[in-house]
Amino acid sequence: MKTTLPVKIGNTYTMTITGIGSNGEGVGRINNFTVFVPYALPGEQLDVTIQTSKKNYAIGKIIRIITTSPQRIAPRCGLYYECGGCQLQHLSYDAQLKIKQQQVKDAVERIGKQKNLLIHPTLGAKQPWNYRNKMQFPIGMDKKRVILGCFSQGSHNIVDTRDCYIQKETNNNIANAIRDAVQKLGISIYDEDKHIGTLRHIVGRVSETGDCMVILVTATKDLHHSKELVKLLRQRLPKLASVQQNIQTYRNNVIMGRETHLLWGKPSIKDSLGTLTFHISPRSFFQVNTSQAAVLYQKALEYANLTGHETVIDAYCGTGTITLFLAQKARKVYGIEIVKPAILDAQKNARDNHVKNAEFIVGDATIVMPQLYKKGVYPDVVVVDPPRAGCTPTVLKTFANMHPKRIVYVSCNPASLARDIAILADLGYKTEQIQPVDMFPQTYHVETVCLMTAKSSGKKQ
């Protein structure tokens, strides 16, 4: 029997927006049925046409704003409503920070079932524009014209972008130089539908000093006119330090492959966080907002509450950024990471920063941590900064079984954080406080640092 839904595709309804969804869209109800409306804001009354209708929700498009939110502003970017790179440019920055705090609160209450937690106001960026030190743009063709930029919302149509307001200016210069050079040289562009052609993505990386790296992601090992391309880029980009080719042959949405070749210049560029310096290679993980990353890591260090006598485990250490921050105040820090190239970068970063109390181990945390425990390594603090999906229950149980006094959880996804703190609550860890940090202004993304403490001291086995 077919269920009749409360709203019908193509029909227009009047509704009031009551909240913001996890992707930055407005949320309200029509006939007691949830409707998501992109670019709508809480408190606004709208005429909305239903475009998509599912079993439990619908998606609508704004036809007319009847009552406008006082927090609504004109987007700075002329491509904003076409491009999918930003979702909150139509909202004042102060309001963005409040909504991100609420997003974290809603997740921990709804998903984590944790009530009355201390969730601080979001730490905003001093510069909420032109902050991204890393650009990843797909490249394509529009008839005979080379285009590159972000995908439009919910599609793989490229919006040709010449001045992205969240990218550092050097990354915009890289994009524009490559567009012109590829057009001039007639370099083959990859077609993802037919799986033919060469150039598929452009990646730019910029250090705080302005030195930059260009990575040309190709679907083939051969890149014709590579020498001419490098020459043209060097003419246009005075602080260009490295040009590399990354080969990604698979038919998927993963941007970079495992094979990289240096075409010209240095194999890496240097960047800094606080007093520490880091080598950034094409596939290195490094936070895209350098100044806010320093704020995030400083908060993690504060929550770790180190006096110089503690043993710390950093369970998803990557290239060692948080690990080296912690090493400044700890007796000993162990960084664990399953990706071997990241560990090699971490070891190099430790040597370059003259850090001798950090040890990096390749492996799965669920295997490495019990091994360390059996050897007599009893961490006072465990720090974890997992991927967006969060931690598995096995990983969380591994943390609890080592009986640290504190767990500092750095998260890029309030939903997975909420789920994991609920699991850790059952494993004996109480959430004390959560600090949202705005790493990605103008977007719906929010980072958080969460402090958890052991409900009882526990007994080492």
CA distance 65 to 218: 45
Nearest to 397 by CA among 387, 411, 382, 418: 382
CA distance 87 to 102: 16
CA distance 421 to 428: 10
Nearest to 121 by CA among 362, 299, 345, 328: 299
CA distance 111 to 121: 20
3-state DSSP assignment of residue 369:
helix
What residues pair up with 147 in beta bridges, in sequence order?
Answer: 140
Q: Could you tell me where the beta strands, DSSP code E, fall in 121-198? A: 134-142, 145-148
Sheet with strand 406-411: strands edge to edge: 358-362, 332-337, 311-314, 381-384, 406-411, 447-454, 429-437
Annotation says 77 is catalytic: no
Catalytic residue among 77, 391, 412, 450: 412
Question: What letter would DSSP give residue 441?
Answer: T
285-296 per-residue burial string, b: 16 or more CB within 10 A, e: under 16: bbbbbbebbbbb
CA distance 451 to 434: 6
CA distance 297 to 327: 12
Contacts (Cβ under 8 Å, ≥6 apart) of 451: 303, 406, 407, 408, 431, 432, 433, 434
Q: Residues in the chain, how many? A: 461
Nearest to 60 by CA among 24, 18, 19, 12: 12
Question: What letter would DSSP give residue 184?
Answer: H
What residues pair up with 261 in beta bridges, in sequence order?
Answer: 245
Question: Maximum Cα–Cα distance for the chain, whole Å?
Answer: 70
Q: Known catalytic residues?
A: 412
